[in-house]
């Protein structure tokens, strides 16, 4: 037993409770996001609820299951900043999509 202890002390482990809590939370959040469809919420309420539950779930998985909460900032920042760039890309493509739709409607149906 003493030997086992010595071997494992290079990487301390976390209590089982935290994993079970996150696990339960993920179940509850998935259930809530399913309810969004079940009750057929529409429009802005639907989209904001979907995004809220999605980001909460993604954050919990990354922070605790993937251990990012306990990692040093050098690693965390290398991962999170490129993802911020993706968000900018999404914003650009939203504008682009609207423009494409506008020109399609304009040229296909109005006739230019």
Q: Which residues bind other proteins (CB under 8 A)?
A: 4, 7-8, 11-14, 16, 19-20, 22-23, 26-27, 30, 33-34, 36-38, 40, 46-47, 50-51, 53-54, 57-58, 61-62, 64-67, 70-75, 77-79, 82-83, 86, 89-90, 93-94, 96-98, 100-101, 104-105, 108-109
Contacts of 41 (CB under 8 A, 6+ apart): 49
CB 72, min distance to other proteins, A: 6
Query: Residue 56 and residue 85: Cα distance in Å, rounded?
Result: 19
Two structure tokens written together for 61: 């998985």
CB 45, min distance to other proteins, A: 13
Comparing CB distances to other proteins, the nearer of 7 and 112 is 7
Query: Residue 59 and residue 68: Cα distance in Å, rounded?
Result: 10
**H or E element: which one contains 95?**
helix 73-104
CB 37, min distance to other proteins, A: 6
CB 42, min distance to other proteins, A: 11
Query: Residue 44 and residue 22: Cα distance in Å, rounded?
Result: 28
Radius of gyration, alpha carbons of the chain: 22
Comparing CB distances to other proteins, the nearer of 90 and 112 is 90
């Amino acid at each position: 037993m003493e030997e086992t202890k010595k071997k494992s002390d290079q990487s301390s482990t976390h209590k089982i409770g935290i994993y079970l809590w996150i696990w339960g939370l993920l179940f509850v959040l998935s259930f809530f996001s399913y309810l969004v469809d079940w009750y057929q919420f529409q429009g802005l309420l639907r989209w904001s609820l979907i995004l809220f539950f999605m980001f909460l779930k993604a954050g919990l998985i990354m922070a605790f299951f993937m251990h990012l909460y306990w990692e040093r900032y050098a690693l965390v920042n290398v991962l999170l900043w490129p993802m911020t760039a993706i968000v900018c890309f999404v914003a650009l493509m939203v504008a682009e999509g609207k423009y494409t739709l506008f020109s399609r409607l304009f040229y296909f149906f109005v006739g230019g």
